[in-house]
Each structure stands twice: as C-alpha cells, then as structure tokens.
Amino acid sequence: MSTLSSLRASYIKKNTQFILVDVNGEILDSDDILFKCETGCNIEELHPIFIGLIDREHIDDQNISCVHLKINKTELICDILLKKSETGFVIIVTDFSIHYNSFQSLAQSRNETAITSELIYLKNNELNEIREFKNKFLENFNHQLVSPVLSILTFSDALTKTKLTSEQKSYSSIIATSADMIKNMINDTFDIAKIETGNLEIIQKRFSLKKLMKDIVKSYEKKSKLKHLAINSYYVDSMPDYIVSDKLRIGQIINNLLDNAIKYTNSGEIIIKTEPVYKRARKLTFTIKIIDTGIGIDTQHQDSIFDRFTRIKTNSNIQGNGLGLAIAKDLAKLLNGEIEFKSELGVGSEFTFTLRTTTPLKSPNKAKIIHKTTENTKKTEILLIDNNTISQLNILKILANTKAFFVDIVSNAKEAEKSYSKKHYDLILINYKLDTINGLELSKVLNKDKTTNILLLTSLKIKESVLKQYSPYINYVLQKPFDPQTLIDSIEMCIK
C-alpha cells in the first residue's frame, strides 16, 4: 500500500463508521469506529434519526448532513450516507465535529461582529445627536448673550471718552475688561463647536503680515502696561511683508498666545519675533515666537497644556476657561502649521508658531485707510438694517465716534428696499436675523447687480455651503460680538 493510500485509510478509519443492516433495519455488522452498535439490534433503536430511514422501496442513495448524534454518551456532528447493498443497506457515518464546530465559531464570530458594528453605529448616532444638541444649545445661548455683551463693550468704550473721576475710570475699566473676557469666551465656544464639526472656514488671501503684527502689538500695549510689562516686537528684514494665508486665524493664534503670555507673566517683558525659516520662489516657511519672562510651566504639566479646559494651577487668581492654547493648536493644524514650546519653571516660556505658506505674485498697492474726518471730508454713506434697537444704537455709537460716516437705519426688508431705491450707499450693514427674511436672502434682493458693498453681521453659525451660495452678493461676514475697532476695520476692508 502506498504512503498516500495508507494515510487516507488511516484518516477514514478514525472518523468514519460503516454499519451493515438488512432490509428491516436489523444490524448485521459494524466496525464501531465512532460508537458501539450491538449486532441483532434494530438501527431505529440506536437513535431517532434512523427511524424511517430504511425504506425497501427506495433505491437511491440518501445523504443527511450536519446530524447531531448522542449515542452511548458519545456526542458527534456527522454526515450520514445510506447506500443499497446486496444484503440490505450500508450506513456510512462520517464525523465532522471539528469542521462543524469551527464553522459554528466562525458564524458566531461574524454574528458578534455584526452586532458589535450595529452597537457602534447606534452609539455613534447617539453621540452625534448629543453633539448636535450641544452645538445648537451653545449657538442659541451665545446668540442671546451677544446683544448685551456688545452693548457693554460699546458703551463702556464710550464712557471712557467722557469726563470721569479716577474712581469712575477704574470702575469703567473693570466693566470693559469683564465684558471683553465674556466676549472671548463666547468666541472660544463658537470656535470649538466649529472645529469639532469641521465647519471652521479657512480663507486663503494675501495680506500684510507685517501690518497685522504691528496692529496686534499695538492692541496689547494697554494690557501690558496694566501689568507693567514691556512688549517688544521684531519683524526681521528678510521676512516678506505680504503672505497668502488666513489673516483672521493667524491673528487669533497670535492673540491667544499673547493672552497666555501676559496672563502668566508678572514682571519683565514679552518678546514677539517674526522671521523666515525657508524661502524658495513663492514658497515660505516662517516662525512667530512669543517669549515671556513669566512663571514658566512645570515639567509634569507640559504634556497637558494644549488640552481643552486645562489651566495651570498657580497661587494667583488667574482668569480663563482653558481653551486659548487648545484653539491655537487646532487652528495652526488647520493652517498647515504647528505650535511647539519650551518652558522652565520660574524662568519663562517660549511658544513657536511655524507656518508653511506662500507669498503673493506681487504686493498690492497700499489701501486707502479711513480716519476721523474733518467737516470738509466726504463721509461714507451706510445703510444699517437691524431689527434690534439696542444693536442699532451700539453700531450707531461706534460709527458716530469716528465722524466718518452718515448712517441711515431701518428695521425690516420693506424699509430697506425703500431706502435703497432712493439713495446710493457705499456700504450696507445687514444683521443676519431679521423678522420675515434673513440677511443673506435680503442681500440677494438688494444687490441684484452685485455692485453694492455688503457686510453681514451675525451671532449665529452659518453653514459654509450657504455662505458660498450667497458669496456674490456679500463682501464679508463679521461674527458678533465684536469690539468697535473690529467693526471699523471690517468696514474699511469692504469699501476700499
């Protein structure tokens, strides 16, 4: 016998049993490989599966698959084949227990995987619903806060320009600082919601980074003086003036890093250094470093400073919500950049914002800047469309202080169409939320010929797809709450 035949015979001998029965089902012989069969007994007494199996009139072979047999304490999963023989029938029982058990395990595993996938799907749906509810709640809650916060900012700023006693000036400063803090918290929660849902818009446009850095430093001079800190900025000569990137988001990153530096620095100075790392053709990689002489960060806290709602515990009562650095990190990543830092406890910290971007083909001509005007200077004509009287008063006060604008105010779409038909305006300010029509829809009605400058004011989050649809009719979207200078800057940008 060949080796293969020997192996084959050995395998069959181990898992296959042959039982010979007569035409009445009486057992004539059995090799008892799998279980014991008594000669002379009827096969039907062995297991119910054999009842009715023997049919004298049936001449074809019968095959029964996946039969569970329990005979004489032996449990098997078998295939049974019945064949005609000269003396009656041959019953061939083949044990496939290993095969069927393996298949059952595989099927069970697939079922469990399907169930797990369904549970994950349901859990994700639940999490999405919770996230959507949270974002909707934050959006509506922030919207309700915008008008009062904007009022506080506007009139506290106006109050500082009046004749006040030193005590009154101190109170006014506290009000303005607190309102500014609330405004920043509102903006932070908006940004976190946008980042989480992937709705944060990145606008790549050319702008003067040099001017942006200069303006940012100027805006922080007052805040640094309150803590008796020197703030020094260095924009190296080899660094290009204009770049192509998102001015708003870069400014936000620098503001967050500077806020953090001033917050944790009690004496010394803040240094801001802007310099190129790599330049070739229009490709540019540069860094903006914020260096402080503050309290520094302990080694045990350095891994968590970019986590949301994380604040370094200090002996001093430092205000904040623990979102500034987290948002800066997320924004840097969206801009194809990164933020790194090094710090020494008791010495200070150095944060480095690295950005890979491009320079424009050519620098634009310097734009005309709006300043306070004299009696003889032509003023800019503005139509303000807003159904909130407090908001109307806030914006009117901001624009009136510049003495650069004539402002007409209407409360609804019908009045807006009437005013627009009678007079040419250099700019239209439209609040997004109106009574019968939203600001985007109204901009399309008024600006059919796409020749009028329109600035949309909103405290709500508008989908990028919706903004894109109405982009031919509006110049810019300004998120509320805003400070007076931001509104003036946005108006200048729209009409230059």
pLDDT digits (tens, 9 = 90+) for 210-240: 988 988 888 888 788 888 899 999 999 999 9
User: Which element (helix H / strand E) includes 389?
Assistant: helix 389-402
Contact 443, 457 (CB under 8 A): no
For residues 23 and 147, membership in a common domain is answered with no
Q: Which domain holds residue 433?
A: 380-495
In a domain, 352, yes or no: yes
How far apart (Å, rounded) are the C-alpha atoms in residues 177 and 183?
10
In a domain, 453, yes or no: yes
For residue 434 the two structure tokens come to: 């109106």
Reported as a pLDDT band with limits 50, 70 and 90, residue 3 is: low
In a domain, 248, yes or no: yes
For residues 213 and 328, membership in a common domain is answered with yes
Query: How much is the mean pLDDT over the chain?
Result: 82
For residues 337 and 215, membership in a common domain is answered with yes
For residues 318 and 232, membership in a common domain is answered with yes
In a domain, 370, yes or no: no
As a whole number, mean pLDDT of residues 109-135 equals 81
* Listed residues 196, 215, 239: the one ending a domain: 196
The whole-number pLDDT of residue 320 equals 57
For residues 160 and 212, membership in a common domain is answered with no
Question: For the chain, what is the domain count?
Answer: 4
For residues 332 and 220, membership in a common domain is answered with yes
Please determine, for residue 56, whether its predicted confidence score (pLDDT) is greater than 60.
Answer: no
CATH number at residue 445: 3.40.50.2300
For residues 263 and 332, membership in a common domain is answered with yes
For residues 187 and 209, membership in a common domain is answered with no
For residues 221 and 323, membership in a common domain is answered with yes
Please determine, for residue 66, whether its predicted confidence score (pLDDT) is greater than 90.
Answer: no
* Listed residues 358, 390, 419: the one ending a domain: 358
For 246, list phi and psi in degrees, rounded to 5. Answer: -100, 105
Residue 258: helix, strand or coil by DSSP? helix
pLDDT digit string (tens) for 169-201?
A: 777 777 777 777 777 777 777 777 677 767 677
Four-residue CA torsion sign, 176, 182, 188, 194: negative
As a whole number, mean pLDDT of residues 403-432 equals 91
CATH number at residue 130: 1.10.287.130
For 278, list phi and psi in degrees, rounded to 5. Answer: -150, 130
CB atoms within 10 A of CB 219: 14
For residues 220 and 343, membership in a common domain is answered with yes
Contacts of 260 (CB under 8 A, 6+ apart): 324, 325, 351
In a domain, 372, yes or no: no
In a domain, 109, yes or no: no
As a whole number, mean pLDDT of residues 419-440 equals 90
Reported as a pLDDT band with limits 50, 70 and 90, residue 342 is: very high
In a domain, 5, yes or no: no
Please determine, for residue 30, whether its predicted confidence score (pLDDT) is greater than 50.
Answer: yes
CA 450 from chain centre, in angstroms, equals 33
pLDDT digit string (tens) for 244-258?
A: 998 888 988 998 899
Tell me if the bond preceding 481 is cis, omega within 30° of 0.
yes
How far apart (Å, rounded) are the C-alpha atoms in residues 131 and 116?
22
Contacts of 436 (CB under 8 A, 6+ apart): 412, 413
CATH number at residue 65: 3.30.450.20
How far apart (Å, rounded) are the C-alpha atoms in residues 479 and 251?
15
For residues 349 and 214, membership in a common domain is answered with yes
Contacts of 143 (CB under 8 A, 6+ apart): 433, 459, 460
In a domain, 1, yes or no: no
The whole-number pLDDT of residue 258 equals 92
Please determine, for residue 289, whether its predicted confidence score (pLDDT) is greater than 70.
Answer: yes
Enter the pTM of the model. 0.52
For residues 160 and 238, membership in a common domain is answered with no
| 292-306, 314-328, 456-470: range with lowest mean pLDDT | 314-328
CATH number at residue 322: 3.30.565.10
pLDDT digit string (tens) for 366-384?
A: 444 444 444 556 788 999 9
